[in-house]
Amino acid sequence: MEIILIGLSHKTAPVEIREKFSIPADQMGDFRSRLAGLAGVRENMFLSTCNRMEVLSVVEDREESAGRIKDFLGGVAGMSGDELTPYLYVCKGEEAVAHLFRVTASLDSMVLGEPQILGQVKEAYRQAVENKAAGLVLNKLFHRSFFVAKRVRTETKIASQAVSVSFAAVELAKKIMGSLNDKRAMLVGAGEMSELAARHLISQGVREIIVANRTHSRALELAQSLRGKAIPFADFPGMLKDVDIVLSSTGSAHYIIHKEHLTGIIRARKNKPMFFIDIAVPRDVDPAINEIENVYVYDIDDLQGVVESNKEDRRKEIQKAEEIVRQGVEAFQRWLSSLEVVPTILELRQRLEKIRQREVEKTLTLLKNASKDERKILDILTQSIINKILHHPISLLKHQEGRGEGKLYVDLTRKIFHLDNEEEDD
């Protein structure tokens, strides 16, 4: 029984490869059935997000199953296994366990500490349970991963140290406005940093995203992906009174948002605060706007200062989180090892008991005149010998249970006593 994880992510594959695994809902049932039907696969889970695709399996043979799973995934993507292999990573045993824990705890995400991945992993596990693809091992493994993720979130500040400009902007907005629930935001410009910041805003509860961009088709595309609303670029000044957060990132050579744009707006908003995030170079927002009461403007240098001050703290928090993951892996491996030790002890006892009974029967054919009491004494004597022979091996196995060399001792015991042989040696 082996654990293997095969996948690809934003670190190993471009979006045109990742999107090949966005399987429509009406085809997912057939996909899962074919995955579960691969020879040698006992349990499996499939995770697919915009940034990663992973198959986690409990298999009979690592190498054979890895090849079958790669070929299967290649077929899904319309590629051969060899064509897909350069984009894949393969984790086995403890490495696979540690990878799952890091993913669930958001230590492997594009945005470190983002909360969405935990919900996505939980949903993938729920689907595996519903499809009866998760058994004893994956059930234990995923519950342990959720426990590890909870510890990382509660015992470290991994999600609160902003180390990207877009994330820093959102954290500052939270400090100024408190909860972002039911707030409205507007993107002026639809570049990559604006999109990333918008996704952070949505994750923090922002109710609606409005997108204004000089190329309106790009505004429509981004608004659709954010489930927001696109407006013509020329209309954005008229929308300022209706939004709480403005994130601007255009290629303009001059300010596009001026102090006069806000004349009367704060009064109309009944002094509700407004927050401007200017990540454009050159700047889009006139710094003079900061002079208006309850209006806050932060430019790229302000945000970069926040990022730099947080980087050292984040490094310390990552170390704490990795230690929590390490402890989680050790705990799971101790449990997994116990699954192997206990059956081995039972099989060892059964093997020697069969040998004992067979040899007693042979001996009794030579002692045809033995009395009932003599037969009982012979039975007790041979049982005692077997128990004394087994005492040290069983004690050693129990002592090594959960330790680093536990599997080695189990493997040697099974080989020495021929426990994996279908036929016993005379």
- Tens digit of pLDDT for each residue in 321-357? 999 999 999 999 888 877 778 888 888 999 999 999 9
Q: Pick from 32, 53, 52: which is nearest to 44 by CA?
A: 32
How large is the average pLDDT for residues 164-192? 85
Residue 299 binned pLDDT confidence (cut-offs 50, 70, 90): confident
HSE of 100, CA atoms in CB hemisphere, 13 A: 33
What pTM, to 2 d.p., does this model score? 0.59
What is the torsional sign of CA 320, 325, 331, 334? negative
How large is the average pLDDT for residues 359-369? 91
- Residue with structure tokens 């799971």? 332
Instruction: Label residue 90 exposed, middle or buried (CB < 10 Å: 0-12, 13-18, 19+).
Output: middle
How large is the average pLDDT for residues 223-229? 93
E strand map for 261-385? 274-278, 295-299
Give the model's pLDDT for residue 114. Answer: 74
Q: Pick from 202, 305, 190: which is nearest to 245 by CA?
A: 202
Question: 368 vs 110, which has greater pLDDT?
Answer: 368
DSSP SS3 for 185: strand
Give the model's pLDDT for residue 426. Answer: 45
How large is the average pLDDT for residues 302-308? 73
Tokens of 206: 């922002």
Contact 245, 257 (CB under 8 A): no
Q: Is 425's pLDDT higher than 50?
A: no
**Torsion of the alpha carbons at 60, 66, 68 and 72, rounded to the nearest 10:** 130
Domains of the chain: 2-155 (3.30.460.30), 165-308 (3.40.50.720), 333-416 (no CATH)
Q: In this structure, which amino acid lies at residue 48?
A: S
- What percent of the chain lies above the pLDDT cut of 70? 94
E strand map for 39-174? 41-48, 52-59, 89-92
Q: Tens of pLDDT along 54-76?
A: 999 999 888 899 999 999 999 99
Longest dimension (CA), the chain: 118
DSSP SS3 for 41: strand
Neighbours of 410 (CB within 10 A): 20
The C-alpha R_g of the chain, in whole angstroms, comes to 31
DSSP SS3 for 51: coil
Q: Which residues are catalytic, by number?
A: 50
DSSP SS3 for 332: helix
Give the model's pLDDT for residue 19. Answer: 84
